[in-house]
Structure 1
Amino acid sequence: MQKKIGNVILDYTYYKGQDLYSDGIIEDNILDIVKTGKEKDILYSSNEWPILYHLSDIRENILEWYPFCENAKTLEIGSGCGALTGLLSRKSKDVTCIELSEKRSLINAYRNQDCENITIMLGNFQDIIIKDKYDYITLIGVWEYAGLYVNDENPYLRMLEIVKKFLKKDGKIIIAIENKMGLKYWNGALEDHTSNLYSSLNDYVDDKHVRTFSKPEIEKIFKQLDINNYAFYYPVPDYKLPDVVYSDEILPKPGAERNYRKDYNACRMYNFYDATASDQICQDSMYPYFSNSFLIITGEKNTKNYFQKYNRCRKENLRIKTEIYEENERIFIRKKALNEPSKKHIIQLKNNEKIWIGCLPALKYIEGKLEDDEYITQYIEGIDLDTLFYEYRNDADLFVQKYCYFIDTYLRPLNEDLVPFSMSDQFISIFGNNAPLNEVSLKITNIDLIFSNLRLTKDSQLYCFDYEWIYDFSIPYDYVLWRNATQLYSKYMVYLRSKLSLGEFLKSVGIHLDNIPIYNEMERNFANSVFGINDKENYLQNYRKIAINQTIKFS
């Protein structure tokens, strides 16, 4: 039996009339939402985890970057409510979904009803007769449930064994799964499937049918199945709502990961400082073992896609992604629009580059090129300046000394390049009508001269490589330095604050303390210009759950 919703075909041939997996009554609400096309309105106003998980387009970040082959045939096992089905439809010639739940399949069909290449087969994938061979088979949040639905004494190995039979000769299995040894589980997060503390760390001794794995365990299973080529990726904060995807070629450095309170599905007690533990793991090159999640793609060994970062929680016309990739044995950085309105923002990067280069003579600048609405620059080998400061984290005096050295050496403008600050209509439209008096400005200002956007090479050249927020009107340069100092201090606050408060740090590096309330107001207005009034598009904050800190205090 088949029926159609829009262009989507639902095939009931193997459906047994009972949904074995559900989030409960919330799925009825989601079905009503997608029928009426109000996904975005509900997403921005709700605080319920199932709404976020099923309806947010952040889910697409896990595979949006991946280059599917031309005319791909894709099998999506466990398609759920279709969070990724639409993406797969855009990347594939043909998509076949397998889903246990009729209700989830209906949600999927309604939200993707305009797609002409989707068939949803209802039923347990082990019962469904699959005659085709596929270029890609996805198991996104599915493999861990094999113990519930696959009849075998080793259901996890058996599931992959079955899946392999449906692959074309050069086909790929794409798996996203939590890491059994993920740092969040050590630090008080409930296990995603059992909702208990430490289930995975205790090897699921009381949970027989759901299981995740460490990286070595996955590699052992692959070896048993004669899967020899595969690539691991590391989505952050996890595969469900990633904003960054690392690879073994580019892994996070100390100071990069700050995931405190990125908890959206359950309340959490933190046992220790997340930042310090993450920094040490990165410093010791142990990140792949403690990553919260894995994305694994079989059939490839050496990836050309090193790094992905997404900015989806912005206004529509500012949503872009940043990629680091290899091509012809060279490494590049590419910024690309995530939608049609944001293409103008990408084009503006080249314009910004032209007016900004040379404004601070001590800096080096990267020149990029526009190709098909993409802005591409060379990748510079070196260390990001904020990462360098990990070395000074436990010595407040040295931290201040080194900070002042880099500001004075590279970011201090020449007097002849400064002009008196004057408030303009352009300034007011972005930063508001409150600004400090008697300040000076560059003629062209890059307000995002933070240390994470500056890279130091072995020969002590400091490169500026981000041209996103550059303005050709007057802005107090002291505000630029305040942003720089505040963001660096916040990154290493856990190490510094018992020895040096933020106010003391700002004073010691020459920031005018009387201006700080004004700068905070300017920063809020700037954030509104990027994320919408009251950070409307930055809706993730609505979903944050309560955090309790055991024996430690966070400011």
Structure 2
Amino acid sequence: MTETIGKITLNLDKYPGEDYYCDGSVEDEILDIVKKYSTVEYDRIIAERKSWPILYHLSALRENIVDFLPIQKTEKVLEVGSGCGAITGALARKAGEVTCVDLSKKRSLINAYRHSECENVTIHVGNFTDVEPELPADYDYICLIGVFEYGQAYIGGKTPYEDFLKILQKHLAPDSRIVIAIENKYGLKYFAGCKEDHLGSWFSGIENYPEGGVVRTFSRKKLERIFDACGVGERSFYYPYPDYKFMTTVYSDAYLPGRGELSNNLRNFDRDRMLLFDEKSAFDGIVEEGLFSVFSNSYMAVIGAPLDLKYARYSNDRAESFRIRTEILRDKEGCKTVRKYPLTKEAEAHVRHMPEAYEKLKERYAGSSLDVNVCHLGEENGIPYAEFEFVPGRPLSELMDECLDRQDVEGFHNLFAEYLERVGYGEDVPVADFDLIFANILVDGDHWTLIDYEWTFDRPIETRALAFRAVYCYVLEDERRNALELDRILDRLGITENEARQYREQEMEFQKYVTGQKLSMGEIRNLLGGEIYKPTEWIGRFRQTEGELRVQIYEDKGQGFSEENSYFPENVYAEEKQAEFTVNFDGNVHYLRLDPAMCACVCKIRELTMNGQPVPVQDKKIVTTNGKILKSADGAEHPSVVFPTEDPNLTIRVDALDRKAENILTVKMEIVQIPLAVASDMAGAVKKFF
């Protein structure tokens, strides 16, 4: 039994008659969207609906995880667990034939409607184990993107993941590949406070799934043990960053990240998260220790011949005219080369402009101490690309970071001065690279090379404007760089505060030019409303509150108050802000002093009695205080006292009351800590109005 939607065929022979997996009514909403709107409108709809499932299923960034695969138009692809078709479109554009398998008919309908013009796609609806026996054995690629972790649910048995892989291997053509994208159970984001993606609980994977369930993610070593058990020979690992769902960069063992590159970490969108530490700083240390393969948030495992590609970065968080992919590849001689490809038809002109920019910048900097990376135009399957030499060296930003780390301020400013001298050459020439940031310059001894000049314009730009932007971007990337003496830099550049403001506004306009109407993923995250909780701040506030909201009692037996004759009563707070305690004292005490806190605060006195009789708080002969007593709505019976001091106190002359040999002072009050400045204002208002 089949159903046709546009040019796509749905095979329903193995469909059990109902969907056993569903996200609820949001799937009906997504189905309605893909029926009514074209793919170019999805970005707008994502921004308007502010929904995680809509973002997850419809974002074009989902395609990045397979976009760089070298799939040819002559090849066949099997996509297991195709869902709503987040990557089906990318596979259909690259391959000659795509076969999808998914358990859900609703999701398969979404897939079909959104890709209804793809005549090379067939979708099988049903459980994989039911569909699999009828699949051919000639696929060039089998893709499991976010699927392998469900092997136990698909296959069952004692060794479900090994069995799953063995079944898949039967459907491969010679010299073919299996591609698995999956979360790393020990990904750094989980240690830092992201919930486990599938269970929605903290540390589930790290704790080895103590509550059970059918979903399992793995470390790299565990994946390799599974592969070994299946007789897998060639395999290679790639590292999607921030993770495979919305990947912007993919690394490999042949090209691992450098220090400072992994700064885009707040990229969970589906739920609130904690932030237990600075992930960028942690990644910097992990990179330096050679442990990135252990703590990468996700893996892409390629079973079969390794890819020529060693690195890819996606800049598709932009307007259509500027969306590109940057790759680092090895050629036939084993040499690395860098290529930039357009991701849209509109971006082809942007790529063609890069070799032109090279020629103009080369002419400007001829005879200077700044080299410009060689670029020429190429073409692949009718698509233009800009190819650059792979230049050795370290980013100038990394050298500057090292100066800051060792507090070598002069070393930093020496590098900055050299930057100004080298990039400022030919300042009056009507061509300039607006993006002359520190990260775009590689330093190899005395050779400084500009490696990226994507934003080159045919007009002169003042060196101080370029340098200000470089510093501005440098500081924004890492809070630790705020230690820079920015005033010294502004003085060095001769930039006034007003000019600095104008440059910042210019940067905002430039970003709008680059992104167009498209929201950044950071902005989308804010729209979805996921909270970021910082327990370290909670602990700090708790400790501060615990320390400052402590009640201290002083007794004066004729020698005045002293720390030696004071104590802290225990179990003061019956609940938050509600203090209830008793003070037992003998007949030798003349004065009692109550310090309700060790910070500015407001105290609402609910009860203050000695031996069962009310203490007259308003009688200044009996009660004195360094706070201000506020007029209360219920008269003098339950007044509030504002303390504009960090040493608040209330002193009671107990020898003027009905003192006995053994006495009990009963205290009930609500104590609220407030900023000192606010307390001072409140106390001033008491003077004025009362």
* Fold equivalence (TM over 0.5): yes
Q: 2:503 aligns with which of 495, 519, 528?
A: 519
Shift of 1:70: 4.6
Spell out the pairing of 1:276-315 with structure 2 (5 A cutoff). Answer: 276-301=281-306, 303-315=307-319
Deviations 1:168-222 (A, max 9, x none): 2322111000001000000000000000000000001112311000000001111
Residues 449 and 504 of structure 1: CA distance in aligned 2, closer, same or farther (over 3 Å): same
2 CA distance for matches of 1:104 and 1:540?
A: 27
CA contact (8 A) 1:8 1:117 kept: yes
- Equivalent residue for 1:434? none
Q: 1:267 aligns with which of 265, 269, 272?
A: 272
Deviations 1:297-326 (A, max 9, x none): 10124x320110111121111111111101
Greater relative contact order, per chain length (Cα 8 Å cut-off, separation 6+): 1
1 CA distance for matches of 2:274 and 2:494?
A: 36
Unaligned runs of 5+ in 1: 420-441
Deviations 1:23-76 (A, max 9, x none): 221110000000012534312323211111111111111111111145111111
Moved more, 94-103 or 473-482: 473-482
- Equivalent residue for 1:438? none
**Alignment RMSD, CA only?**
2.0
Confirm or deny that 1:391 pairs with 2:402.
yes
Unaligned runs of 5+ in 2: 539-690
Secondary structure at the counterpart of residue 126 of structure 1: helix
Letter in 1 for 2:16: K
Spell out the pairing of 1:406-421 with structure 2 (5 A cutoff). Answer: 406-412=415-421, 417-419=426-428
Letter in 1 for 2:505: E
- Equivalent residue for 1:11? 11
- Equivalent residue for 2:353? 348
CA contact (8 A) 1:445 1:473 kept: yes
Confirm or deny that 1:403 pairs with 2:412.
yes
2 CA distance for matches of 1:359 and 1:552?
A: 51
- Equivalent residue for 1:163? 168
1 CA distance for matches of 2:241 and 2:209?
A: 24
1 CA distance for matches of 2:521 and 2:91?
A: 25
Q: 2:387 aligns with which of 371, 376, 382?
A: 376
2 CA distance for matches of 1:304 and 1:389?
A: 33
Shift of 1:101: 0.4
2 CA distance for matches of 1:12 and 1:418?
A: 67
Confirm or deny that 1:179 pairs with 2:179.
no
Q: 2:464 aligns with which of 459, 478, 493?
A: 478
1 CA distance for matches of 2:213 and 2:85?
A: 28
- Equivalent residue for 2:532? 547
Confirm or deny that 1:452 pairs with 2:439.
yes
Number of residues paired by the alignment? 522
2 CA distance for matches of 1:511 and 1:174?
A: 54
Secondary structure at the counterpart of residue 332 of structure 1: strand
2 CA distance for matches of 1:490 and 1:130?
A: 55
Secondary structure at the counterpart of residue 364 of structure 2: coil
Deviations 1:439-495 (A, max 9, x none): xxx6322121111111112x320100111111222433222111111222333423x
Kindly, what percent of the aligned residue pairs are identical?
A: 34
- Equivalent residue for 1:465? 451
- Equivalent residue for 2:26? 26
2 CA distance for matches of 1:10 and 1:416?
A: 63
CA contact (8 A) 1:273 1:552 kept: no
Kindly report structure 1 stretches of 4+ aligned residues shifted beyond 3 Å: 413-419, 501-511
Structure 2 length normalisation: TM-score? 0.73
1 CA distance for matches of 2:452 and 2:75?
A: 35
Spell out the pairing of 1:167-246 with structure 2 (5 A cutoff). Answer: 167-246=172-251
Shift of 1:537: 4.2
CA contact (8 A) 2:242 2:265 kept: no
Spell out the pairing of 1:489-528 with structure 2 (5 A cutoff). Answer: 489-494=475-480, 496-497=481-482, 500=483, 503-504=486-487, 506-507=489-490, 510=493, 512-514=495-497, 515-528=499-512
Secondary structure at the counterpart of residue 295 of structure 1: strand
CA contact (8 A) 1:46 1:542 kept: no
Letter in 2 for 1:153: K
Letter in 1 for 2:311: F
1 CA distance for matches of 2:36 and 2:478?
A: 46
- Equivalent residue for 1:426? none
CA contact (8 A) 1:233 1:294 kept: yes
1 CA distance for matches of 2:45 and 2:488?
A: 42
2 CA distance for matches of 1:108 and 1:354?
A: 45
1 CA distance for matches of 2:390 and 2:29?
A: 47
- Equivalent residue for 1:427? none
Deviations 1:155-178 (A, max 9, x none): 111111111111123221110000
- Equivalent residue for 1:332? 337
- Equivalent residue for 1:151? 156
Deviations 1:350-371 (A, max 9, x none): 1111211253412111221111
Letter in 1 for 2:495: H
2 CA distance for matches of 1:349 and 1:3?
A: 47
- Equivalent residue for 2:75? 72
Moved more, 204-213 or 189-198: 204-213
CA contact (8 A) 1:308 1:322 kept: yes
1 CA distance for matches of 2:215 and 2:454?
A: 44
Moved more, 503-512 or 240-249: 503-512
- Equivalent residue for 1:425? none
